[in-house]
Amino acid sequence: ELDRVYLNFSDPWPKSRHAKRRLTHESFLARYEKVLKKKGEIHFKTDNRKLFEYSLVSMSSYGMILQEVSLDLHAEMPEDNIMTEYEEKFSAKGQPIYRLEAMFDK
């Protein structure tokens, strides 16, 4: 069992017909729930606002508890933030980085 799953800058699959391919779709959330310990967490980062909004709704609808929601991670820049290559690339262009932590309520 895992304590946490990190989803960093995954493909947004922008077309609505591809929603089932998004890593925050309910079918993937069910898979994560199976491998995570009780009260396991998902830490999610993206530069895509529509994917972020979709993920907030998807996780909430699945019954997850949303924690640490940020619409501009670098404005707050937590000390423990580890920047990925994509994060460095997008933030250098001035794009906001969206981040959330969500916990399964089981």
Q: Which residues are catalytic?
A: 11
8 Å CB contact between 68 and 32: no
8 Å CB contact between 32 and 66: no
Report the 10 Å Cβ neighbour count for 11.
12
Q: Closest by alpha carbon to 55, among 40, 71, 79?
A: 71
- Alpha carbon of residue 70 to chain centroid: 11
